[in-house]
């Protein structure tokens, strides 16, 4: 069990409304760091396999629109200026065609000796065309600026929504889910969504308006030539549908594989020392290669299929140019249209096929956005810890704890704790011992309300723990764990994390009580010494003492000490034990220990086996019984002999 920092802010109401329940991973919460040490609660079982779930494109887009509801005014501005930019751009070729016609007729008249080129008229037409294109560029600039704001603000809010969602997830979710997958959702998926949103929405608007506007202009020039050009549209649409149908699944698989590979990289590098120590580089590389291969397969297929759009559409467009050129020459020779109209029409044909191509590309962009958005909203729709209005207050608890026939199992059909009863008086030190898997750490999780009991009750100060809000119950406990958690920052900041409003004098007093002040004073900068990202510039024992100082500063009424001395040498253990004695003075303390020599002075020792208390009493009383505890205690002083089980 590792201690995590959590942002206490609540998810915006808009985000909650946007995340309707849909089928649907753990992130570092500390300021700039993650828990130190390998393998903190994620593994192969938590990795997301590509193509695990089908995608609901329409439902996801509805969720996106709901989440972006606050940007209605901005989207309206984007729509207006995108239409304005497109309209001005569409009118340009028609105006320019008049200059072409004026030049052609002027040259013909000059050759015939009946006139010449009216450069004034040509100049005015060109100036008008330039003005239209400048207006188009200005509108495009404004809509691009607003769209960038909307897309990045959406990403900003989604990242915040994910971070706040993590704080409301049940603890069990993090026991079974990969850290890397959630990291991928808050980084890769959100970035993909932002980029796709920025490109896709504007392009969809401008391409749609362009298709409609160009069609109107083409019809105004010559309906027959327009029909000839439109013959190419069904061919284009058919090709687009074929490509989109085949590429859709690969885009989703690509996003899912990104999440899986991110989890593997985070896991392998956080436990890099262990991987190398056990010579598992080959296995780690093989696992990475397998996931990387899935990412490669889905990536190249999605990109290849989407890349087919341009050459296919270009081929169809070239066929359209040929047909228009032939029919345009016939109509010009018949005097039905002018040479300038042919020039304008060919340009419109190009402008007509181009937005169709762009719409095809936008469809791929929107699919990629939907794949990322679906993973984000699926996470935001995960069940949360139920919100409560507890009537009990931490200030009323006197430090007593009652376990009344507690029953619990992570799987309700397979209970780990079957019938646990005990009474802990205020200020007592209670040691919980037993073999691995006996339920010791599970009991601590129940005390912290990471899980709720499924039978019986736990009472704090005479009140059922479920009468307290979770935050209220947890505020009663300070924790010192075997897995020390320090973030990248100064020692002063790490100790002050226990109580953020503590003065420097209080921080130093806590360090003295934890027997770590002398060590800190020898460091360059003292309390301002910066602990690096993985805390490798201080020893394991020194890290533990700093966490004890943090707990002292927090000054909680009750303490949970989980294997706090199990990974240090004997001399350091003695220092930590003295610091823990200072910490536990006057507080109700629960000490989980495998090294039984450290808990001989406990007021009460609870001996657990298979989820039940099999013995309880003081150290001397339990040794005198000669039972399970005595066997555990004495086994620490004899050689380990593996014997076959019956």
pLDDT tens-digit profile of 440-476?
778 888 888 888 888 899 998 888 888 888 888 888 8
Give the rounded percent of residues in the chain with a pLDDT score beyond 70. 86
Average pLDDT, the chain: 78
Q: Which residues pair with 490 in a beta bridge?
A: 530
Taking 80 as the threshold, does the pLDDT of residue 300 lie above it?
A: yes
Cβ-contact 475, 556 below 8 angstroms: yes
Separation of alpha carbons 640 and 318, rounded Å: 82
Among residues 268, 263, 264, 360, the alpha carbon closest in space to that of 305 is found at 360
- pLDDT tier at 490, thresholds 50, 70, 90: very high
Check residues 583 and 388 and name the one with the higher pLDDT: 583
| Window from 345-354, 523-532, 554-563, 600-609 with minimum mean pLDDT | 345-354
CATH topology of domain 394-635: Rossmann fold (3.40.50)
Domains 60-380 and 394-635 share a fold: no
Check residues 581 and 521 and name the one with the higher pLDDT: 521
Separation of alpha carbons 392 and 138, rounded Å: 62
pLDDT tens-digit profile of 204-213?
888 888 888 8
- Give the per-residue pLDDT at 571: 67
- pLDDT tier at 528, thresholds 50, 70, 90: very high
Q: Answer yes or no: CATH 1.20.1560.10 is held by domain 60-380.
A: yes
Taking 70 as the threshold, does the pLDDT of residue 229 lie above it?
A: yes
Question: Rounded to 5 degrees, what are φ and ψ at 617?
Answer: 155, -170
Taking 80 as the threshold, does the pLDDT of residue 14 lie above it?
A: no
- Give the per-residue pLDDT at 55: 59
Taking 80 as the threshold, does the pLDDT of residue 408 lie above it?
A: yes
> Average pLDDT, stretch 87-110?
79
pLDDT tens-digit profile of 341-393?
887 888 788 777 678 767 777 877 888 888 888 888 888 888 887 776 666 67
| Window from 115-119, 120-124, 420-424, 538-542 with minimum mean pLDDT | 115-119
Helices (H) and strands (E) in the chain, counts: 22, 12
Taking 70 as the threshold, does the pLDDT of residue 112 lie above it?
A: yes
Cβ-contact 373, 64 below 8 angstroms: yes
| Window from 15-29, 173-187, 493-507, 538-552 with minimum mean pLDDT | 15-29
| Window from 133-142, 293-302, 332-341 with minimum mean pLDDT | 332-341
- pLDDT tier at 506, thresholds 50, 70, 90: very high
Q: Residue holding tokens 């329409």?
A: 58
Give the start-to-end residue ranges of the domains of the chain: 60-380, 394-635
Q: Which residues pair with 607 in a beta bridge?
A: 433, 615
Taking 80 as the threshold, does the pLDDT of residue 173 lie above it?
A: no
- Give the per-residue pLDDT at 515: 84
pTM score of the predicted model: 0.62
Taking 90 as the threshold, does the pLDDT of residue 529 lie above it?
A: yes
Token pair listed for 379 = 């996470």
> Average pLDDT, stretch 582-600?
79
For 192-215, the DSSP string reads HHHHHHHHHHHHHHHHHHHHHHHH
- Give the per-residue pLDDT at 38: 32
pLDDT tens-digit profile of 126-144?
898 899 889 999 998 999 8
- pLDDT tier at 2, thresholds 50, 70, 90: very low
Q: At what angle do helices 339-380 and 190-221 cross, to 10 degrees?
A: 150
Taking 90 as the threshold, does the pLDDT of residue 248 lie above it?
A: no
Taking 50 as the threshold, does the pLDDT of residue 17 lie above it?
A: no
- Give the per-residue pLDDT at 508: 92
Separation of alpha carbons 623 and 632, rounded Å: 10
């Amino acid at each position: 069990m590792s201690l995590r920092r959590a942002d206490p802010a609540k998810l915006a109401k808009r985000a909650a409304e946007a995340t309707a329940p849909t089928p649907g991973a753990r992130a570092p919460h500390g300021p700039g760091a993650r828990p130190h040490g390998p393998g903190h609660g994620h593994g192969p079982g938590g990795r997301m396999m590509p193509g695990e779930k089908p995608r609901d494109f329409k439902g996801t887009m509805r969720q996106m629109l709901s989440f972006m509801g606050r940007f209605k005014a901005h989207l309206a501005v984007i729509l207006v200026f995108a239409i304005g930019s497109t309209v001005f751009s569409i009118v340009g070729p028609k105006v320019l065609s008049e200059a072409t016609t004026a030049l052609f007729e002027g040259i013909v008249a000059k050759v015939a000796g009946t006139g010449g080129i009216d450069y004034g008229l040509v100049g005015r037409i060109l100036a008008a065309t330039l003005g239209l294109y400048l207006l188009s560029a200005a509108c495009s600039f404004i809509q691009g600026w607003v769209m960038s704001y909307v897309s990045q603000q959406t990403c900003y809010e989604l990242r915040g929504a994910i971070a706040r969602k993590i704080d409301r997830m049940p603890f069990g979710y993090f026991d079974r889910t990969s850290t890397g997958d959630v990291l991928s959702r808050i980084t890769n998926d959100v970035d993909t969504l932002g980029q796709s949103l920025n490109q896709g929405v504007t392009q969809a608007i401008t391409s749609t308006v362009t298709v409609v506007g160009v069609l109107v202009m083409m019809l105004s020039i010559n309906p027959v030539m327009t029909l000839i050009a439109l013959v190419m549209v069904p061919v284009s649409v058919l090709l687009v549908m074929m490509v989109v149908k085949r590429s859709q699944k690969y885009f989703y698989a690509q996003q899912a594989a990104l999440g899986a590979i991110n989890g593997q990289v985070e896991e392998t590098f956080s436990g890099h020392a262990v991987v190398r120590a056990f010579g598992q580089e080959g296995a780690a590389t093989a696992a990475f290669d397998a996931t990387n291969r899935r990412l490669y397969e889905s990536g190249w297929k999605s990109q290849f299929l989407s890349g087919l759009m341009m050459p296919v559409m270009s081929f169809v467009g070239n066929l359209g140019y040929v047909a228009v050129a032939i029919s345009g020459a016939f109509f010009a020779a018949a005097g039905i249209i002018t040479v300038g109209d042919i020039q304008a029409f060919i340009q419109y044909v190009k402008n007509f096929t181009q937005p169709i191509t762009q719409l095809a590309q936008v469809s791929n962009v929107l699919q990629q956005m939907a794949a990322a958005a679906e993973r984000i909203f699926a996470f935001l729709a995960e069940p949360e810890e139920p919100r409560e209005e507890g009537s009990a207050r931490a200030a009323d608890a006197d430090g007593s704890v009652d376990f009344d026939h507690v029953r619990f199992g992570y799987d309700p059909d397979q209970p780990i704790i079957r019938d646990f009863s005990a009474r802990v008086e205020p200020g007592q030190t209670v040691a919980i011992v037993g073999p691995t898997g006996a339920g010791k750490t599970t009991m601590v999780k129940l005390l912290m309300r990471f899980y709720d009991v499924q039978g019986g009750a736990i009472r704090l100060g005479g009140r059922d723990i479920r009468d307290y809000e979770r935050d209220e119950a947890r505020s009663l406990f300070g924790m010192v764990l075997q897995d020390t958690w320090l973030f990248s920052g100064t020692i002063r900041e790490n100790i002050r994390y226990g109580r953020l409003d503590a003065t420097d004098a209080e921080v130093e007093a806590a360090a003295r009580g934890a027997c770590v002040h002398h060590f800190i004073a020898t460091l360059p900068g003292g309390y301002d010494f910066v602990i690096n990202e993985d805390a490798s510039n201080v020893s394991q024992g020194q890290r533990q003492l700093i966490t004890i100082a943090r707990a002292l500063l927090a000054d909680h009424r009750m303490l949970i000490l989980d294997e706090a001395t199990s990974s240090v040498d004997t001399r350091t253990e003695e220092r930590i034990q003295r610091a823990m004695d200072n910490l536990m003075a006057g507080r109700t303390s629960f000490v989980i220990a495998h090294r039984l020599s450290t808990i001989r002075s406990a007021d009460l020792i609870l001996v657990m086996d298979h989820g039940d208390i099999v013995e309880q009493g003081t150290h001397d009383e339990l040794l005198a019984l000669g039972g399970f505890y005595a066997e555990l205690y004495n086994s620490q002083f004899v050689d380990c002999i593996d014997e076959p089980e019956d």
